[in-house]
Amino acid sequence: MTQNTEETVRTDIDIAEILARIPHRYPFLLVDRAEDYKPGQSIVGIKCVTINEPFFQGHFPGNPVMPGVLIVEALAQTGAVLMSKTLEVDTEGKTIFFMSIDGVRFRNPVRPGDVIRMEVEVVRARSSIFKFKGVAKVGDKVAAEAEFAAMVVETPTK
């Protein structure tokens, strides 16, 4: 019988921990929970899309579609959760900022009732800067994909 010597890491992240790790709040918090967290490697963010989302009032009446830029923002927030947990960022004194985005492609619309799975993996990490590759899926269909980067910065004092 072999004994597992690796440290067990909790792979699911609930909304309470997400709220503790990133500063976003309603109506701009776009990650409901996360799963399959692998420190410094990857995470899957989950967003349950409802008709109650404020952007659906104007995008588009009679044909509600989640704006693509918000899908990309949801990917970035998922990456921020991964960074925050991996680096154990002090959320009182630091903030994770989106730095760049490349190769964005929108493939399929996201509509009310959809559940978006945001698969985010680390492409490169150096100190407090991470580069990610992310794919947002509804079921087996890709809604959007992008590469993006984020960094940890000091929160300005008042």
Q: What string of pLDDT tens digits covers the 158 residues of the chain? A: 444 445 566 799 999 999 999 999 999 999 999 999 999 999 999 999 999 999 999 999 999 999 999 999 999 999 999 999 999 998 889 999 999 999 999 999 999 999 999 999 999 999 999 999 999 999 999 999 999 999 999 988 87
Question: Does 59 participate in catalysis according to the annotation?
Answer: yes
Asked if 46 contacts 122 with a C-beta cutoff of 8 angstroms, the reply is no
Asked if 125 contacts 133 with a C-beta cutoff of 8 angstroms, the reply is no
Of the candidates 33, 38, 59, 107, the residue annotated as catalytic is 59
Task: Using DSSP, state whether 134 is helix, strand or coil.
Answer: strand
pTM of the model: 0.93
Residue 10: its pLDDT value, please? 77
